Structure 1
Amino acid sequence: MSATKEKILDTALELFNEQGINAITVRHIAQSMGISHGNLQYHYANTDLIIQALYDRLAARFDELLQAAPAQLSDELEAFRKGVEASYQLIYSFRFIFLYFVEIGRRLPAITKHYKDNLKKRKPQFMQLFTIMQQKGIFRKDIPEEVLELFIHQVFIVSDFWLSSNEITLQLSGKKALDYYNKIFWNMFYPYLTAKGLKQLQDSQ
């Protein structure tokens, strides 16, 4: 990708995060960059194409996180915690996507399809992780598989939509938001952890 296209995406990400997708046009992005409207449209004809490119960038960075993590995530809760923390930081960096996800999905159905396909792919990865944690005595072994599957869905709901809840309730920003919603995430795990798991969780926080 050219340096100009990278700069367009960087500028658009900043503006979308600050003002939302409805307040920002191609002209706003061009003006912020100090280039002509026509020059920007040579690379991206409209904001939908920019949003798609930013979503693709987000998806690629999530894939990088997960590719780097498997060996660590199968170890102990501390490694898992670091992976979750990195994921939440990434979500916050691309927060406009999550705050406007329903509208974006209606405008760009390919994004909705990718998200659904991604959930299907991630589910067995989490099931494998929880199985390893059960074998290590971190997760309880008496949890029915159906309950674990529902828990995974709960994890995705909280992780992908905590920004929307924050927007209409606490309105925290930056580190305060990340710290608070990471705490909410980990509190979901308490009923599923053994005494060993609870100790590891407490030690990692």
Structure 2
Amino acid sequence: MKPAKPLILSHALALFNAEGVSGVPMRKIANAAGISPGNLTYHFPSREALIVALHSQMLQTAQQLNAELKQGPMTLERLLESMRIGFRVVYAYRFFLVDLPLIMRTYPKLRQHFREVADIRKQMYVQAFQQAHAEGWMREEAYSGEYDELIDRIRIFSDFWVVSAEVYEDEDESSTISRHLRLFMNLLFPYLHAAGQAEFDRLRPSI
């Protein structure tokens, strides 16, 4: 049997993904985990504490992916595979994006946590772009701050692609991830050298 905290988080994640944050009271999570409400609140005194713990789980996975990406040469193919895994991770925790405005309004303390994570994500992209430029397949900035603005667009896309998929599409998980991964990679295309664009064309059918 799983230790209590991982078991609770696993059931909370499944319920939040299926029913949304507002539709899942703490008692329902306790019932799903097969524990008493008191035992649940011993480990997680509030729904906010559960959400913070789940967000930390997702962040740790993202940081591990970034560490793996920095090992060895940065290629477009390696970036693509890393992003594919990253999209799967985000989809596994998709309630965050579906309920993001609700979470921000209901738990204002989480706003700072999300902003700190956004700063970490930004640094991950900065490092990836610097390495890609050093490897010779991503061009320099055409004007000061161009890549900062690209990262802002990536953040907006990353925060809302799951919502768009839920509203406009009826595809399975694999098709949804592939579609939005392809759209994400399209954001990078104008910033690639000719060799990078040729590599992108080669890789595109596999996305």
Instruction: Report if TM-score (shorter chain) is over 0.5.
Output: yes
2:87 equivalent in structure 1: 88
**Counterparts of 1:11 and 1:140 in 2: how far apart (Å)?**
45
Counterpart residue number, 1:62:
62
Deviation at 1:147, TM superposition (A): 1.8
Residue matched to 1:137: 136
- 3-state SS in 1 of match to 2:181: helix
User: What is the rounded CA distance, in whole Å, between the counterparts of 2:113 and 2:48 in structure 1?
Assistant: 16
Provide the secondary structure at the position in 1 that maps to 2:6.
helix
> What corresponds to 2:24 in structure 1?
24
* Amino acid across the alignment from 1:95: R
Quick one: distance in 2 between partners of 1:65 and 1:35? 33
Question: For residues 57 and 81 of structure 1, do their structure 2 counterparts lie closer, same or farther at Cα, with a shift above 3 Å needed?
Answer: same
Kept in 2: contact 1:138–1:194 (CA 8 A):
yes
Gaps of 5+ in 1: none
Q: Is the contact made by 2:97 and 2:162 (CA closer than 8 Å) also made in structure 1?
A: yes
Q: Deviations over 1:42-70 (max 9, x none)?
A: 32233222112111211222222222221
Q: Percent identity?
A: 27
What amino acid is aligned across from residue 140 of structure 2 in structure 1? K
Segment of structure 1 superposing worse, 114-123 or 181-190: 114-123
Cα distance change of structure 1 residues 99 and 196 upon mapping to structure 2, 3 Å threshold: same
Residue 171 of structure 1 and its aligned partner are, at CA, apart by 4.0
CA 104–63 in structure 1, closer or farther in 2 if over 3 Å, else same? same
> Could you report, residue by residue, the CA deviation over 1:78-98 in whole angstroms, capped at 9, with x for unpaired residues?
111111111111100100011
Following superposition, the deviation at residue 35 of structure 1 comes to 2.6
Give me the whole-angstrom Cα distance separating, in 2, the residues matched to 1:133 and 1:32. 45
Q: Aligned pair count?
A: 203
- Alpha-carbon contact 2:59-2:117 (below 8 Å) kept: no
- The answer to whether the 8 A contact 1:105-1:111 is kept is yes
* Per-residue deviation, 1:117: 2.5
User: Residues 91-102 of structure 1: matches in 2 within 5 Å?
Assistant: 91-102=90-101
CA drift of 1:124 comes to: 4.2
CA deviation digits over 1:131-188, x for unaligned, max 9?
3323433123362232221111111211222111112222433111111100110111
Deviation at 1:192, TM superposition (A): 1.5
Distance 1:109 1:152 in 2: 24
Report the equivalent of 1:11: 11
Give the aligned residue type for 1:136: E
Instruction: Please tell me whether the aligned partners of residues 30 and 40 of structure 1 are also in contact (alpha carbons under 8 angstroms).
Output: yes
* d(CA) in 2 for partners of 1:201, 1:118: 29
Instruction: Give 2:26's aligned amino acid.
Output: V
Aligned to 1:150: 149
Match of 2:186 in 1: 187
Native 8 Å contact 2:141 2:147 kept in 1: no
Alpha-carbon separation, structure 1, partners of 2:186 and 2:28: 41
Greater Cα offset, 175-184 or 153-162: 153-162
Q: CA contact under 8 A between 1:30 and 1:36: conserved in structure 2?
A: yes
Question: SS state of the match for residue 133, structure 1?
Answer: helix
CA offsets 1:104-131 (integer angstroms, 9 cap, x no match): 1233334321222233344344234323
Q: Which runs of 4+ in 1 moved over 6 A?
A: none
Task: Provide the TM-score with structure 2 as the length reference.
Answer: 0.87
Unaligned runs of 5+ in 2: none
